[in-house]
Structure 1
Amino acid sequence: MNHLHRKKLVIFCDFGVFNSKPPVLYANTPKPLVIVTPLNISHVQATIRCSKTHGLQIRTRSGGHDFEGLSYVSEVPFVVVDLVHFRSIDVDVENQEAWVQSGAITVVEGTVYCSENGLAGDNVLDAQLVDATGVLDRRSMGEDLFWAIRGAAEEVRDRSLVESEVGSYSNNRDCFLIGRTLEQNATELLHRWQYVAPNLPNDVYSVVSISTINGTATGTRTVLATFTSVFQGSTNELMALMQERFPELGLVRENFIETTWIESLMLLTQLPNETSEILLDRTYRNTLLSPAFKAKSDYVRKPMPEIALQGLWSQLLEDVATTATMNIISYGGKMDEIPESALPFPHRKGTLYKINYNIGWQEEENNNPQRYKTGFGTLSVYGSIVSKSPREAYINYRDLDIGRNDDDGKTSYKQASVWGRKYFKRNFNRLVMLSRRSIQRISSDMNRASSSFSLIEEKKIIFLQSCLE
């Protein structure tokens, strides 16, 4: 480490803030040579220059997520730039715009509002990037790069200081959260939900969470489907809508909860709802979440028949899958109105919903995680039912099982297309062409999910903030 001039590199850094999101799970996971927590842009630029001089890769810790850990580990010597101090959000109420720094925790897919407003990237007006020589905005970076950074990956989005459009919303929300087991017709209800949810009004968010619980008979287990919706309106409006569109669910007034916007988010994320102050605790960890897990995704373009759902339940009830869960997130609405080519994220018109599969285990079981990962193996049986040619996947989950770059850095376009088309469909070719024009060679030493942002990383650019409208 002496040749890295370590004191000069970290003199402006605060290492204490890094403990809120440990970057590694296993003892043998590669560790960064240095963790840099810059306090201003000049510190970021100094880190880029020093890393480039010494041939170090840069990984950025920001407000997003990366299920495979690729955004904060590397097989080659690397530095972590921790943007924890770049998390301000400046809102211009009069002009309905906001500048959001990359260390702030945001959601690229919009979650509760994607059916009403599309992705977060769909609402970005401008962005700032920093490299060793200065700061780039939308005008100076060009429209191609601006297009890429808004939808090529969570890790890229997290590096942006974005200017975004801010919509006008009521603070009042009405929600319902109701569970049904297999014995309570969960299969028939979920089958019907597939036809109802994507066609609900844009201001209704709908999700179904699937898990397994103990059955009524001793020693048995059953599947629980929890139906949840959030509506920007009153109980009377939502109840009337659901009784008209989805009477099979049997909702009554007691099932509805009137709440505020922030309380509805806490309900959806299963956070303790006694007080919203818990959101200010950056070290808080939801005890319902497993410390180690594997996640996968699918997109569905035609409703699954009941027989397919029954086959899925049988897999979830196997012993190896007892900790598996599924979240089925409805699309439709605004997502149907935006063309696939608008951003690198292509899962738009015709997509009924996204499925998130998750299986978790305890840290002491890390020596045999494959036992739990095999719980996902049979899900591929349903490849003929979910999207195909290609079978689509969500880029932010970084599922290395569907393809990855070679460790020796010699990944071909043909090999990269295996995973690239699943994440980006036809947009993958545009990302590759942009990469070749911008950097002139493909850098695959990061095992990234897109050669496009591997190349951007090679150029040592860090995205600071963006403006949302």
Structure 2
Amino acid sequence: MLINCTSNVNASTSNYSIKAFVNCLSLHPYTPNLTTRAIYTPQNASFSSVLQAYVRNLRFNTSSTPKPLAIVTPLEKSHVQATIICAKANGLEMRIRSGGHDYEGLSYVSLNPFIILDLFNLRSIDIDLANDTAWVQTGATLGELYYNIANVSSTRAFPGGVCPSVGIGGHFSGGGYGNMLRKFGLTIDNVIDGEIVDASGTILNRKTMGEDLFWAIRGGGAASFCVVLAWKIRLVQVPEIVTTFNKTMALEEGASNIFDQWQHVAPNLDPNLFIRAQASVRLLDTENGLKKDECKEQSWIKSTITFYGLPMNSSLKVLLDRVPPIGLSYDKHKSDYVKEPIPKSGLDILWKKMIEVENTSMQFNPYGGKMSEILENATPFPHRKGNLCKIQYLSCWSENSIELTHRNIEGTKEIHNLMTPYVSKNPREAFFNYRDIDIGTNANKTLAFAFDYFKGNLKRLLKVKAKVDPTNFFRNEQSIPVLPIDIQSR
């Protein structure tokens, strides 16, 4: 399915719908001045800049990318309620965006008449250090969260992702992981409450939404069920000083043998250790021959900067930059889960293919530890015990070229296809936060893509969807659909 194409929406119908939508917002009793303070239409001079501000994949920032009829940037909770009520009343599809790091642009692109609910203004962070908890609004970024935690404690942290500009909303609701997953699990394993707006425009918390919905939004993709306003999280204890290192080694230096050793030991190491292996055309990061002076002792908050790839002496304020510090690119991502070590013959084939394919690298993230202790059905995220590691395939390029885009996407697919014998099967598991439109959509109702993401947890997700959003208001190409009862029961 191609997202970056021109929509054939009837213009007169769209104009009528958006006028009715804006009028509905202006009449809503709880949204004074919303239409003048927090809504942007194509007629507004700031429309393009607001739209593009949180597009993180340049593949979806072209002249041919379908544009929304309006962007609503709520300043308070009631603005979210009114947007849902008015969009639903006027038959408009609504896409929900926080940080904009959706790999396939589904949080801000649609082929149907649509609006964007952009939550970047809802970004307050309230830390309760006495109870080791915090309330974080969904429009905040990981970097803002980490910075705020570090401001009140040098021994508290939160097990989230590495990229500081990622929005809290999508990162949490899709699973969320970082370099502490072997010690503390995923972000969703450390979420203890939430505040949402449902399809009727009602604000709910964990108690009032019920455990089924609270279960679903922690790893099942909240955009299928509601709008999350905020999450209550549990902070974790970390040492004042941690150690990081980055070791590089070429194939000619025996990197393939080191990687083979890594895949046998990394998932079984002490949970306090997280050693990621990254393979690119020239380099493979490993622990081989590690020297003392290559190990850097620093605070946890400094380690988040180092792990992201920025210089150790970078100011902590770089975490507050909502634009990715390393810049934007055109990119394509895919994922896999590995159950058994890849044989050396397979590694030889893989390295050869990577040399042939431009711009593609692979990240191998070890599992084990806490991840093996949590049951598959504890949250919708099912990829727990039995996994040695998760693979992220990524291709990034800087030139806006149709030929280059096609070549890089196809190259990523080639490597992904080559890995078929060595990764999980029936289903071939995939990570929901590494959105990949290639594995399918809900248009044909086969739901093969959803089995890849959620495995046996899909049935419960379907039941929750049917209960809380029977009209399928919250939807995108890979959302949980509303299906007939006989299909759900299979």
- CA apart distance, 1:327: 0.7
Which residue in 2 is equivalent to 1:251?
A: 290
Structure 2 counterpart of 1:196, from 246, 265, 271: 265
Alignment of 1:100 with 2:159, yes or no, is no
Pick from 343, 361, 377 the counterpart of residue 325 of structure 1.
361
Cα offset, 1:445, TM superposition = 6.1
Distance change in 2, residues 1:323/1:452 (3 Å): farther
1:283 equivalent in alignment to 2:326: no
For the residues of structure 2 that align with 1:21 and 1:64, how far apart are their CA atoms?
5
Corresponding residue for residue 55 of structure 2: 22
- Distance in 1 (CA, whole Å) between partners of 2:245 and 2:470 is 52
- The structural deviation recorded for 1:377 is 3.1
User: Once the two structures are superposed, what CA deviation does each residue of 1:413-446 show, in whole Å capped at 9, x if it has no partner?
Assistant: xx11x11111111111111122223333667962
Q: Quick one: distance in 1 between partners of 2:252 and 2:428? A: 32
- Residue 315 of structure 1 aligns with an amino acid whose one-letter code is K
Q: Which AA in structure 2 matches 1:354? A: K
Contact persistence 1:102–1:158 (CA under 8 A): no
**Contact 2:338–2:424 under 8 Å retained in 1:** yes
| Aligned-residue CA RMSD (Å) | 2.4
- Contact in 1 for aligned 2:335/2:392 (Cα 8 Å): yes
What is the Cα deviation at residue 401 of structure 1?
A: 0.9
> What is the letter of the counterpart of residue 13 of structure 1?
A
Instruction: Identify which of 114, 117, 136 aligns with 2:184.
Output: 117
Give the residue type in structure 1 aligned to 2:230.
Answer: L
For 2:216, the equivalent position in structure 1 comes to 148
Which letter does structure 1 place at the counterpart of 2:351?
A: W
Show CA shifts across 1:261-313 (max 9, x none). Answer: 122111111134422222222235414x6x11110000001111111111111
The TM-score normalised by the length of structure 2 is 0.79
Residues 37-436 of structure 1 mapped to structure 2, 5 A cutoff: 37-63=73-99, 65-106=101-142, 107=161, 108=172, 109-131=176-198, 132-153=200-221, 159-213=228-282, 224-227=283-286, 249-273=288-312, 274-287=314-327, 291-318=329-356, 321-366=357-402, 369-378=405-414, 379-406=416-443, 411-412=444-445, 415-416=446-447, 418-436=448-466
Q: Distance in 1 between matches of 2:453 and 2:228?
A: 20
The residue identity in structure 2 corresponding to 1:430 is R
User: As a proportion of its length, which structure holds more strand?
Assistant: 1
Give the 3-state SS of the residue equivalent to 2:237 in structure 1. Answer: coil
Deviations 1:2-51 (CA, angstroms, capped at 9, x unpaired): 44336835323176683532373222111111111111111111211221
1:4 is matched with: 21
Task: Give 1:405 shift.
Answer: 2.4
Contact residue 128 and residue 137 of structure 1 kept, 8 A: yes
The separation in 2 between residues aligned to 1:332 and 1:53, in whole angstroms, is: 47
Judge conservation of contact 2:183–2:370 (CA < 8 Å) in 1. yes
The answer on whether the counterparts of 2:462 and 2:482 sit within 8 Å (CA) in structure 1 is: yes
Distance apart, 1:382 and its partner CA: 2.3
Secondary structure (helix, strand or coil) at the match of 2:236 reads: coil
Alpha-carbon distance between aligned partners in 2 of 1:313 and 1:452, rounded to the nearest angstrom: 43
- SS of 1:254's equivalent in the other structure is helix
The one of the two structures with greater contact order (alpha-carbon pairs below 8 A, sep at least 6) is 1
Q: Distance in 2 between matches of 1:434 and 1:402?
A: 23
Following superposition, the deviation at residue 134 of structure 1 comes to: 2.8
- 1:368 Cα shift? 5.1
The letter for the 2-side match of 1:127 is: G
Task: Give SS of 2:246's match.
Answer: strand
Secondary structure of the 2:478 match is coil
Report how far residue 181 of structure 1 moved: 0.5
Cα distance 1:100–1:115, how it changes in 2: closer, same or farther (>3 A)? same
Does the CA-based 8 Å contact 2:54-2:100 persist in structure 1? no
Distance 1:154 1:366, change over 3 A: farther
Distance 1:283 1:369 in 2: 23
Q: Aligned partners of 1:140, 1:154: CA distance in 2, in Å?
A: 16
The answer as to whether partners of 1:103 and 1:158 remain within 8 angstroms in 2 is no
Three-state SS of the structure 2 residue aligned to 1:282 is coil
Q: Which amino acid aligns with 1:450?
A: I
Give the partner amino acid of 1:178: K
Corresponding letter in the other structure for 2:55: P
The letter for the 2-side match of 1:111 is G
2:197–2:229 contact (8 Å) kept in structure 1:
no
Are residue 34 (structure 1) and residue 70 (structure 2) matched?
A: yes
Structure-2 change in CA distance of 1:392 and 1:82 (3 Å): same
Percent same amino acid among aligned pairs? 38
Could you say what secondary structure the match of 1:341 adopts? coil
Q: Report the residue type matching 1:419 in the other structure.
A: F
Q: Indicate how the Cα distance of structure 1 residues 130 and 356 shifts in structure 2: closer, same or farther if over 3 A, else same.
A: same
Structure 1 distance, partners of 2:343, 2:133, is 44
- Contact kept, 8 Å, 1:63 with 1:103, in 2: the verdict is yes
Any idea what SS the aligned residue of 2:281 has? strand
- Residue type of the alignment partner of 1:425: K
Aligned 8 A contact 1:178 1:227 in 2? yes
Secondary structure at the counterpart of residue 431 of structure 1: helix
Q: Is the 8 A contact 1:173 1:264 kept in 2?
A: yes
Q: Which segments of 5 or more consecutive residues in structure 1 lack a partner in the other structure?
A: 214-223, 229-248, 454-469
Residues 144 and 258 of structure 1: is their aligned pair in 2 closer, same or farther, counting only changes over 3 Å? same
**CA distance in 2: counterparts of 1:365 and 1:61, whole angstroms:** 26
User: How many residues of Structure 1 are paired with residues of Structure 2 in the alignment?
Assistant: 412
- Asked if 2 retains the 8 angstrom alpha-carbon contact of 1:20 and 1:282, the reply is no
Q: Report SS of the residue matched to 1:384.
A: helix
For residue 141 of structure 1, what is the amino acid of its counterpart? M
| Aligned 8 A contact 2:123 2:139 in 1 | yes
> Which stretch has the larger CA shift, 270-279 or 189-198?
270-279
Q: Is the 8 A contact 1:151 1:343 kept in 2?
A: yes
**Partner in structure 1 of residue 10 of structure 2:** none
